[in-house]
């Protein structure tokens, strides 16, 4: 949601209040956390540690389950049918404290203590009132299309040292048609959930012995990752980037110098070696800057583009970890472009072209773009920030790219462009980032000599194309539902001998395809052919090559496509030609082939 005054935002915020009212009616004594509107819905956090059921039964430490949601929904419908007005009133902070103290709302009292205002806003409908800035719809009866979706645990205010509350998520829309569409897409999204498919397709896993947010890639997942790595590396070299590599740990001195220590330390893993402090790198930029600073540079060398598939580690809270989409250890296709001030706009346009080309190759045709400006805490001068922001803006406008301004969300050292890809279900995923930085070159005293031999300061563009490879893989899995086009499929062909006496010919075909660079496996299990075919289809292998005595005698194969079923008998050369043609085309037009209902 973009604006609090947006009508849908008001509706969802109002639905959150109605849900909180329903829960309090059903479970007297429950304590309220916070309940905001969010994209496509709302949530509210509850503490059931001292509640009781309306009948009087003690429900201390009650844990909600999905089975509780219909009961809460029915209570919400009663509140909505009462068509009560949402009434706003301004009260003194002291009066609000008395109200919430009497109601034993300890979490609201905590929020009140942190407010500096002498007056606060309360919203009330019926007997329910909440500390809230609003706005809301006029009456509860305006909430016509809603659905409670799930229950989850959530630490109070996101801090792991705080109590664990129970969060109820819901969806709300202006009409039932929009709600039905959302629920249908949500059902499809659950089928495509990369965590579910990651397990089913044996792509990756997580293990408590390793730790949260640290994925283990299985052979098929590692292969998919390598395909992405090979493609993106080849493209960087093709576009004039120089490959470099920097250590996984660096002394804290460099993070102090860069400003990360001051602005980002809570997300860093810091430790000591030989009485000196080190940190596991959360970013790659300081290493790239030191490579630049290793010798005197001339203006004739610009632009200098350094690229690294850099492994970084960030201390994300356990509550926000989410499969491959939010991890603690990940790899960035990270690059830093050192250039002249007057060359920034041209380089930014080049990066935008690179992003568009790459994402379209992987099957993503739609994007959302944001330009994030100077945050409250920043380094550098305002004049440099304005010049950097103008360079980014000019590049977007030169490319005729529509974008939105995201006020105050830039990096601490510079403004940035964020590109969010849109998947087959229309969901946006953070991907590419381009940051224009005048501050770090100043901090590291970076120099070059101009045409007259004078020393001057370069600027640096920080950028990623795919972003986190892990997050990109998660988005890719969900975009295709695990049903990858041939060029991305970890296993492209499954060779299936009809009987034991056909295994030798199957092995011959397998060896020939492997030698040509195709990713092939042979299923030599003592199972019926139909079982083998079914297993290959379930694991979403694009092609099945079936061989029997007839095929062996004629030097042919029977080809079966997962999508188009039987493709008939082909000579081995015809099979190879078909595979090579499809692989080189990087075809992705079949993304929605199985989703005609969407």
Are 233 and 313 spatial neighbours (Cβ–Cβ below 8 Å)? no
Any idea which residues carry the catalytic annotation?
A: 285, 314, 332, 334, 336, 416, 462
Which pair of tokens denotes residue 453? Answer: 């031999």
- Report residue 448: phi and psi, to 5°: -150, 160
Instruction: Give the C-alpha distances (Å, rounded to integers) separating 594 from 188, 257, 463, 489, 562.
Output: 11, 53, 35, 17, 11
Which pair of tokens denotes residue 246? Answer: 């920097």
- The whole-angstrom separation of Cα 560 and Cα 250 is 53
Which parts of 293-443 fold into alpha helices (H)?
344-361, 382-398, 439-443
- The whole-angstrom separation of Cα 60 and Cα 62 is 5
Candidates 172, 120, 148, 150; CA nearest to 10 is 172
- The three-class DSSP label of residue 518 is coil
Helix or strand (DSSP H, E) at 552: helix 549-554
- The whole-angstrom separation of Cα 481 and Cα 424 is 9
Helix or strand (DSSP H, E) at 236: helix 219-238
Candidates 329, 328, 330, 259; CA nearest to 289 is 259
Which pair of tokens denotes residue 271? Answer: 């430790």
Question: Would you say how long the chain is, in residues?
Answer: 598
Are 308 and 245 spatial neighbours (Cβ–Cβ below 8 Å)? yes
Q: Residue 43 pairs with which residues in a beta bridge? A: 169
What lies within 8 Å, CB to CB, of 553 at 6+ separation is none
- The whole-angstrom separation of Cα 464 and Cα 461 is 10
């Amino acid at each position: 949601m973009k604006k609090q005054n947006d009508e849908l935002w008001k509706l969802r915020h109002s639905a959150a209040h109605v849900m909180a009212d329903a829960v309090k009616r059903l479970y007297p004594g429950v304590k309220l956390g916070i309940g905001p509107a969010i994209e496509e819905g709302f949530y509210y956090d509850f503490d059931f540690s001292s509640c009781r059921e309306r009948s009087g039964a003690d429900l201390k430490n009650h844990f909600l389950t999905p089975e509780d949601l219909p009961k809460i929904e029915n209570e919400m419908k009663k509140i909505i049918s009462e068509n009560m007005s949402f009434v706003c009133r301004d009260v003194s902070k002291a009066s609000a404290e008395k109200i919430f103290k009497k109601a034993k709302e300890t979490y609201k009292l905590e929020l009140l203590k942190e407010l500096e205002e002498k007056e606060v806003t309360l919203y009330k409908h019926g007997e329910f009132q909440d500390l809230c800035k609003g706005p809301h719809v006029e009456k509860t009866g305006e909430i016509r299309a809603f659905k409670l979706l799930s229950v989850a645990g959530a630490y109070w205010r996101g801090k792991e040292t705080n109590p664990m509350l129970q969060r109820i998520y819901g969806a709300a829309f202006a009409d039932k048609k929009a709600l039905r569409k959302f629920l249908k897409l949500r059902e499809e999204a659950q089928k495509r959930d990369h965590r579910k498919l990651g397990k089913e397709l044996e792509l990756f896993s997580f293990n408590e012995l390793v730790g949260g947010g640290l994925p283990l890639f299985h052979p098929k997942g590692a292969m998919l990752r390598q395909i992405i790595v090979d493609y993106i590396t080849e493209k960087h070299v093709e576009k004039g980037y120089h490959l470099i590599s920097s250590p996984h740990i660096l002394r804290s001195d460099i993070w102090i110098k860069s400003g990360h220590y001051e602005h980002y330390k809570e997300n860093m893993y810091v430790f000591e070696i030989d009485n000196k402090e080190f940190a596991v790198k959360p970013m790659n930029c300081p290493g790239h800057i030191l490579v630049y600073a290793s010798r005197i540079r001339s203006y004739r060398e610009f632009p200098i583009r350094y690229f690294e598939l850099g492994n970084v580690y960030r201390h994300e809270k356990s509550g926000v970890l989410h499969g491959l989409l939010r991890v603690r250890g990940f790899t960035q296709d990270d690059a830093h472009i050192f250039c002249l001030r007057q060359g920034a706009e041209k380089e930014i346009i080049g990066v935008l072209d690179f992003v568009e080309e790459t994402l379209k190759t992987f099957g993503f045709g739609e994007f959302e773009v944001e330009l994030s400006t100077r945050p409250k805490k920043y380094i550098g001068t305002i004049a440099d920030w304005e010049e950097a922001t103008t360079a980014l803006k000019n590049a977007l406008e030169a490319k005729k790219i529509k974008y939105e301004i995201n006020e105050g969300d830039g990096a601490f050292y510079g403004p940035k462009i964020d590109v969010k890809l849109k998947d087959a279900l229309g969901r946006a995923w953070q991907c590419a980032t381009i940051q224009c930085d005048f501050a770090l070159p100043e901090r590291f005293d970076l120099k070059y000599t101009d045409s007259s031999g004078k020393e001057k300061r370069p600027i640096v563009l920080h950028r990623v194309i795919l972003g986190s490879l892990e997050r990109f893989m998660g988005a890719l899995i969900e975009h295709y539902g695990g049903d990858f086009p041939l060029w991305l499929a970890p296993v492209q062909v499954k060779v299936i001998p009809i009987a034991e006496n056909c295994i030798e010919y199957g092995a011959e075909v397998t060896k020939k395809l492997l030698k040509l660079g195709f990713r092939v496996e042979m299923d030599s299990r003592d199972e019926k052919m139909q079982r083998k075919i079914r297993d290959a289809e379930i694991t979403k292998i694009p092609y099945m090559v079936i061989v029997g005595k007839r095929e062996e005698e004629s030097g042919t194969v029977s080809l079966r496509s997962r999508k188009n079923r039987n493709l008939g008998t082909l000579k081995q050369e015809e099979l190879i030609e078909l595979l090579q043609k499809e692989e080189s085309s990087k075809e992705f037009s079949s993304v929605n082939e199985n989703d005609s209902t969407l």
